[in-house]
Structure 1
Amino acid sequence: MSKLSKKPRRPATSPTPEQTVIARPGVRVVAIVYDGMLILALLFLVGTVLTVVGTLLTMESGSTSDQAQSLPAWYQNLVLTPAFLLTLIGFYGIFWRRGGQTLGMQTWRLKTVNASGHYLTWPQSIKRILGACVVPILCGAIGYLMHGTRGAILASAILGMVFNYLFCLLNRRGLAVHDMISNTITLKVPKVKHEGLLESFRNRKSAKKS
């Protein structure tokens, strides 16, 4: 029996000139802020559930409520941290694989594809997410070495994330650091036809009222 050939992934974009426009860093940052609120809510939910579970599993008999509020380091490092990372990968991976767009990217008409114009695979999604963490982690490590406080680490990591997109201004193709690492690209897609008709109708309606 011959082996079934693997079905190729369908192209994510049509070969039109508008869809070859690379998204500008400003609108990409705005989309990330939009998605960031959703991710924070999701991480809060995951963290709350795992904290309750961890408290029940690690709380010894006779422990006070104050002692029960602090989870052991092994639980935080081996359960909470991987769970947060998997939540982040799952959020972006599912959206990028299915339509190339997260909810924030849909709002600003952005789409992420690979170099061949197809939706990202799981390995490509993971590589892109980890690639976006390289500079923030390095900056966070520098902040720790310089000051050794959580505030310094957080501020340095945020500066590293901002640098990912400021790099778009230096790169002649307009690519961010994680675009280059993962060989992917984020495009600004044109409005669909019905959106243009709706906008035209609104403009005519407002002109009549005036």
Structure 2
Amino acid sequence: MTNTTTTDLVCPLWRRLIALLYDVVAVLAIVMTVGLVCQLATGGQLITITGAQVHIAWWYRPLQAVVVTAYFVLSWLRGGQTLGMRPWRTRVTTREGARLSLWQAVLRAAAAAVPVLLLLLAPVLGLRTALWCVLGLWVIWFATGLVDSRRRPIHDLIAGTEIRRIG
């Protein structure tokens, strides 16, 4: 008989997806706050409309990406949990159960965000199609968690991390 502690329990996919939904709410709040601050800082010129053309300041999207990435990376480094992971009692760790290194946290965030790059196809495919492509690739990303013995999606496999249930 093996001696299993609660920190060794693999997190089921449904629990991690619900925690991710909670994090979407946090990310929306962060994005809205950054947008408001940027609008105020530019005197309302962050987004301008000329005829049928919408122009967004060149630096705004990269800033949003950095801020959202910082939310996840700092949460994982600080205690292994984002706001969404706390109520579901899950934590991201290394395969050995230790805290993530900065490199692992950044690599995990970057790998998890790869499907979002498909939004760059929006001008060619249209926004609706690009969003469906993002969703489809995320399904593939998380589907590996259904076959991996430790329930790890692609970004956890790449970063050498996993989500564990705690407490």
Q: Please classify the TM superposition score into its range, dividing by the shorter chain length.
A: 0.7 to 0.9
Structure 2: stretches of 5+ with no match in the other structure:
none
Note if contact 2:80-2:93 (Cα within 8 Å) is conserved in structure 1: yes
Higher RCO by CA contacts (8 Å cutoff, separation 6 or greater): 2
Note if contact 2:39-2:46 (Cα within 8 Å) is conserved in structure 1: no
Name the TM-score, length of structure 1 as normaliser.
Answer: 0.67
| Residue from 18, 34, 37 that aligns with 1:30 | 18
Deviations 1:48-72 (CA, angstroms, capped at 9, x unpaired): 221333356789xxxxx865xx774
Larger radius of gyration: 1
Which residue does the alignment assign to 2:95?
Answer: 115
Q: Give the whole-Å Cα distance in 2 for the aligned partners of 1:106 and 1:80.
A: 30
Name the TM-score, length of structure 2 as normaliser.
Answer: 0.83
Q: Give the whole-Å Cα distance in 2 for the aligned partners of 1:56 and 1:134.
A: 31
Q: Give the whole-Å Cα distance in 1 for the aligned partners of 2:116 and 2:144.
A: 13
Percent of aligned positions with the same letter in both sequences? 23
Alpha-carbon RMSD across the aligned residues, in angstroms, is: 2.8
Q: Give the whole-Å Cα distance in 2 for the aligned partners of 1:43 and 1:136.
A: 15
More deviation, 169-178/34-43 = 169-178
Within the alignment, does 1:179 sit opposite 2:156 as a pair? yes
Q: Give the whole-Å Cα distance in 1 for the aligned partners of 2:151 and 2:33.
A: 36
Q: Which has the higher strand share?
A: 2
Which residue does the alignment assign to 1:48?
Answer: 36
Note if contact 1:113-1:184 (Cα within 8 Å) is conserved in structure 2: yes
Structure 1: stretches of 5+ with no match in the other structure:
1-14, 60-64, 191-210
Within the alignment, does 1:152 sit opposite 2:129 as a pair? yes
| Residue from 103, 108, 113 that aligns with 1:128 | 108
Note if contact 2:49-2:55 (Cα within 8 Å) is conserved in structure 1: no
Distance 1:156 1:48, change over 3 A: same
Give the letter for the 1:118 counterpart: A
Once superposed, which parts of structure 1, at least 4 consecutive aligned residues long, lie more than 6 Å away? none
Aligned residues: 163
